[in-house]
């Protein structure tokens, strides 16, 4: 097993000083439990913030460092200012509420962002300092979203995974962030990006499309010459251990002490946080008591609220609001013998929680939004008696797995109240069947399986990516190739235009060549023994207007029309009927009419549907639908449909660039090297027609049959400039 470097905002430890001695206690539950096995088996390291130890004297600080080293924990110490701005300010003040759709809670501040960026850089530096060849790096959660990209720059061949433990919001919400581009680019530094649910994965893919213009291919994204894998990995709990604990005689006896004759227990266990929906849960219980007088004095909500972020003013105010609601409801419905809400603001140990889970008749897990919510799974794992009912928010990630829970909309207070009544009156047979189904799911998909699934996928993905990596993309390899090409007695360059020599423009007419490009093409054409062909999907008129005065050959409509450098006459590659497009031209015009931002480019030997200016998601959907319609319409006809970069092109078969390459190869004299540069699927046929020792170079991030790759148009120009300067 490869050594594992775990990276999280906090180390899984609690540091205490008692009687002058430093005590380091490992955390239990959640991520700490899932990572314990892989961390120990791999002999790896865990890097993170150990908490505020700034007040420790030197000897105690040294003792702490020694203890952490024994545990293979590597501390990153943060200043109080960094904790305030990076953690409380940006991570929990901006990202946390925004990713949970609580937009009124999001203050946007440049200083907090700068602190977030700097602390992420510190984490990346620390990981890089401890990294060894072959290590697996697993970065966790929203506090460290820039770290994968920073590490990729420092260690290009690093094997990096990232898992987001909170929801990824819809693209419309995510795009609110001024730093949306930086965060997405940071995440794309990973080889594998993991989310709790497929829904979160889709939101991420949608954000990539809307913000960066990058289209995900189901579960993969191609960027910067790399493939990034996307996956849904629902996190579990240590279900077997909790089930064993909950079934013990000690827990069973303690559970009995919580029960009172004639009373049913509703249970809520939450960290104090405005995302958990505690006030609305209290209001739902109040509504239940209003509607059902017969339940008064017979139903009790035990609400355990675990202290959290006690030094944050907003959380202090939130606790006061909860306390006021509890007081109001108890004042209205309490009797001499009972109160409807028993609220406790403190932590419970694992045994006490198991007893509460066992005692409850109904478990209420009703967050307004939650990445997964492990409390729901803990309740299920504890029910060794196959009894109890789980009422679960449909906005918790766990809802996608736990189909036998009673799902509710936490914003619908009346609906939650009605579901509570259903839970309290559910027949025992139905309760048992539902709980058995839930337990099977939770026990079979535990936290250990979650960790193993992610790590095995990361190893598989990083090995596959390594096998696909293109050595010629390195500066040294490109320099070696350039040197070889300079020595060739004759050189023929076939250069695609859009996306290869110039960046894509939203409107086709906005991509005219700049003076530097015109100068470069002229310099290449004047180099002894060098011929330059610009091979483009553009029309003859456009190429003539933009490049017709240069001493280069032009090939319009992907090589159907050609013009030599020394001539001004355009020649077609073959004859095609004038009505070749009559069968499907109306369909294309119909799609343009119903898709805002699209246009149809009508050329003599091709038709091109452009959707670069359309809404990103709608444009992609319309392009897919168009290809389906065309596929049915053009069956058994000599016409082909070609997807490109934000285009769909339709043309007669044999009208592409491969025929041009074949003719150039046939006419080439001995010693001639052909070099083809292109960026999209339409250029692949040009690459396929080039046998060794001729050179195919792909420009951009997409996968390609070309053995050489350049990152983008600027890199392509730099490569060509190196040839021209010979």
Angle at 347 between CA 346 and CA 349, to 5 degrees: 150
Residue 621 CB partners (closer than 8 Å, separation 6+): none
Q: Using the predicted structure, report yes or no on whether residue 249 has a pLDDT greater than 90.
A: yes
Q: What percent of the chain has pLDDT over 70?
A: 97
pLDDT at res. 218: 78
Q: Contact at 8 Å (CB) between 376 and 390?
A: yes
**Which pairs with CB-CB distance under 8 Å and at least 24 residues apart come from 568-573?**
570/540, 572/604, 572/605, 573/654, 573/655, 573/659, 573/660
Q: Using the predicted structure, report yes or no on whether residue 470 has a pLDDT greater than 60.
A: no
pLDDT at res. 465: 65
- 227, two tokens: 């493939």
Name the band, by pLDDT with cuts 50, 70 and 90, for residue 472: very low
Average confidence (pLDDT) over 222-251: 93
Name the band, by pLDDT with cuts 50, 70 and 90, for residue 705: confident
- 556 bridge partner residues: 561
- 639 bridge partner residues: 652
What does DSSP assign to residue 510? Answer: G
Q: Using the predicted structure, report yes or no on whether residue 2 has a pLDDT greater than 70.
A: yes
Q: Which of 128-142, 195-209, 433-447, 692-706 has the lowest mean pLDDT?
A: 692-706
Phi/psi zone of residue 218: left (φ > 0), alpha (ψ -120 to 50 degrees), beta? left
307 three-class SS: coil
Q: Using the predicted structure, report yes or no on whether residue 409 has a pLDDT greater than 50.
A: yes
**pLDDT (tens digit per residue) in 166-188:** 999 999 999 999 999 999 999 99
Q: Using the predicted structure, report yes or no on whether residue 281 has a pLDDT greater than 70.
A: yes
What does DSSP assign to residue 370? Answer: B
pLDDT at res. 335: 87
Of 528, 638, 540, 92, the C-alpha closest to 311 is 92
**pLDDT (tens digit per residue) in 646-689:** 899 898 876 677 878 888 888 888 889 999 999 987 788 889 88
Helix pair 313-333, 278-291: axis angle to 10 deg: 10
Residue 580 CB partners (closer than 8 Å, separation 6+): 639, 652
Cα(55)–Cα(60) distance, integer angstroms = 10
**Considering 191, 370, 496, 679, which one is annotated as catalytic?**
496
Instruction: Indicate the pTM of the whole model.
Output: 0.83
Of 190, 191, 169, the C-alpha closest to 180 is 169
Cα(683)–Cα(702) distance, integer angstroms = 12
**pLDDT (tens digit per residue) in 82-92:** 999 999 999 99
Computed over every residue of the chain, the mean pLDDT equals: 92
- 464, two tokens: 């596959």
Q: Using the predicted structure, report yes or no on whether residue 437 has a pLDDT greater than 60.
A: yes
pLDDT at res. 226: 83
pLDDT at res. 466: 58
Cα(695)–Cα(183) distance, integer angstroms = 36
Q: Using the predicted structure, report yes or no on whether residue 20 has a pLDDT greater than 80.
A: no
Helix and strand element counts for the chain (H, E): 26, 28
Strands of 108-204 (E only): list them. Answer: 136-140, 159-163, 192-195
pLDDT at res. 312: 65
Q: Using the predicted structure, report yes or no on whether residue 576 has a pLDDT greater than 70.
A: yes
What does DSSP assign to residue 719? Answer: H
Cα(64)–Cα(75) distance, integer angstroms = 10
**pLDDT (tens digit per residue) in 309-339:** 766 667 778 889 999 999 999 999 998 888 9
Q: Using the predicted structure, report yes or no on whether residue 467 has a pLDDT greater than 60.
A: no
Average confidence (pLDDT) over 189-201: 97
Q: Using the predicted structure, report yes or no on whether residue 524 has a pLDDT greater than 80.
A: yes
Residue 49 CB partners (closer than 8 Å, separation 6+): 9, 10, 11, 75, 76, 77, 78, 83
What does DSSP assign to residue 512? Answer: P
Average confidence (pLDDT) over 488-516: 89
125 is catalytic: no
- Report which secondary-structure segment, H or E, holds 324: helix 313-333
Average confidence (pLDDT) over 280-297: 97
Strands of 72-199 (E only): list them. Answer: 73-75, 136-140, 159-163, 192-195
How far CA 552 is from CA of 90, 399, 563, 592, 648, in Å, comes to: 54, 62, 9, 35, 28
**pLDDT (tens digit per residue) in 617-655:** 899 999 999 999 998 888 888 888 888 888 998 988 766
Q: Using the predicted structure, report yes or no on whether residue 471 has a pLDDT greater than 70.
A: no
Block residue for tokens 């619908």: 412
**CA-based torsion, 323, 326, 328, 331: positive or negative:** negative
> Which domains does the chain possess?
4-232 (3.40.50.2000), 239-442 (3.40.50.2000), 470-574+654-726 (3.40.50.1000), 577-653 (3.30.70.1020)
pLDDT at res. 509: 77
Name the band, by pLDDT with cuts 50, 70 and 90, for residue 469: very low
């Amino acid at each position: 097993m490869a050594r594992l470097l775990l990276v999280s905002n906090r180390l899984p430890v609690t540091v205490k000083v008692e009687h002058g001695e430093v005590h380091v206690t490992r955390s239990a539950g959640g991520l700490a439990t899932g990572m314990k096995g892989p961390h120990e088996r791999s002999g790896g390291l865990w890097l993170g913030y150990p908490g505020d130890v700034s007040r420790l004297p030197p000897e105690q600080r040294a003792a702490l460092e020694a203890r952490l080293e024994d545990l293979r924990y590597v501390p990153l110490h943060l200043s109080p200012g960094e904790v305030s701005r990076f953690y409380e300010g940006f991570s929990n003040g901006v990202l946390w509420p925004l990713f949970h759709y609580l937009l009124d809670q999001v203050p946007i501040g440049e200083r907090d962002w700068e602190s977030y960026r700097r602390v992420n850089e510190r984490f990346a530096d620390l990981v890089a300092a401890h990294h060894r060849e072959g290590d697996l790096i697993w970065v966790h959660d929203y506090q460290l979203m820039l770290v994968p990209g920073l590490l990729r720059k420092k260690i290009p061949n690093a094997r990096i995974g990232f898992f987001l433990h909170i929801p990824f919001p819809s693209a419309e919400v995510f795009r609110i962030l001024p730093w949306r581009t930086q965060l997405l680019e940071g995440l794309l530094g990973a080889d594998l990006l993991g989310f709790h649910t497929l829904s979160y994965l889709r939101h991420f893919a949608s954000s990539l499309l809307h913000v960066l213009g990058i289209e995900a291919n189901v579960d993969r994204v191609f960027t910067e010459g790399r493939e990034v894998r996307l996956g849904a990995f629902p996190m579990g709990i240590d279900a077997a251990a909790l089930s064993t604990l909950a079934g013990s005689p000690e827990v069973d006896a303690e559970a009995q002490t919580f029960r009172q004759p004639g009373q049913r227990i509703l249970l809520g266990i939450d960290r104090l946080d405005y995302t958990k929906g505690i006030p609305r849960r209290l209001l739902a219980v109040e509504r239940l008591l209003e509607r059902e007088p017969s339940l008064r004095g017979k139903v009790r909500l035990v609400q355990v609220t675990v202290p959290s972020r006690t030094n944050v003013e907003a959380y202090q105010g939130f606790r006061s609001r909860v306390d006021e609601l509890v007081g109001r409801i108890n004042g209205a419905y309490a009797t001499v013998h009972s109160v409807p809400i028993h609220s406790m603001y403190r932590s419970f140990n694992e045994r006490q929680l198991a007893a509460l889970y066992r005692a409850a008749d109904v478990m209420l897990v009703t967050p307004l939004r939650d990445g997964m919510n492990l409390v729901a799974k803990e309740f299920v794992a504890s029910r060794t008696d196959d009894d109890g009912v789980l009422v679960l928010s449909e906005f918790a990630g766990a809802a996608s797995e736990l189909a036998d829970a009673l799902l509710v909309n936490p914003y619908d207070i009346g609906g939650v109240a009605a579901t509570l009544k259903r839970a309290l009156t559910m027949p025992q047979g139905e309760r048992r069947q539902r709980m058995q189904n839930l337990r099977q799911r939770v026990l079979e998909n535990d936290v250990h399986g979650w960790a193993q699934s992610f790590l095995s996928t990361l190893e598989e993905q990083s090995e596959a990516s390594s096998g696909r990596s293109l050595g010629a993309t390195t500066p040294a390899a490109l320099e070696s190739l350039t040197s070889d090409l300079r020595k060739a007695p004759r050189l023929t360059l076939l250069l695609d235009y859009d996306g290869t020599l110039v960046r894509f423009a939203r409107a086709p007419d906005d991509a005219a060549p700049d003076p530097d490009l015109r100068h470069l093409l002229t310099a290449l054409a004047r180099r002894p023994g060098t011929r330059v062909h610009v091979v483009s999907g553009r029309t003859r008129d456009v190429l003539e207007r933009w490049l017709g005065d240069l001493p280069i050959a032009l090939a319009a409509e992907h090589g159907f029309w050609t013009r030599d450098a020394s001539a001004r006459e355009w020649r077609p590659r073959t004859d095609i009927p004038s009505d070749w497009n009559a069968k499907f031209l109306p369909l294309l015009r119909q799609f343009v009419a119903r898709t805002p931002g699209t246009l149809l480019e009508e050329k003599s030997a091709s038709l091109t549907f452009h959707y670069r200016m359309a809404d990103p998601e709608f444009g992609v959907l319309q392009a897919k639908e168009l290809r389906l319609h065309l596929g049915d319409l053009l069956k058994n006809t000599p016409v082909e449909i070609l997807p490109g970069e934000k285009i769909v092109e339709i043309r007669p078969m044999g009208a592409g660039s491969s025929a041009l390459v074949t003719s150039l190869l046939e006419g080439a004299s001995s010693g001639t090297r052909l070099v083809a540069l292109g960026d999209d699927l339409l250029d692949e046929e040009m690459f396929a027609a080039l046998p060794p020792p001729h050179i195919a170079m792909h420009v951009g991030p997409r996968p390609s049959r070309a053995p050489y790759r350049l990152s983008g148009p600027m890199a392509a120009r730099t490569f060509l400039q190196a040839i021209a300067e010979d």
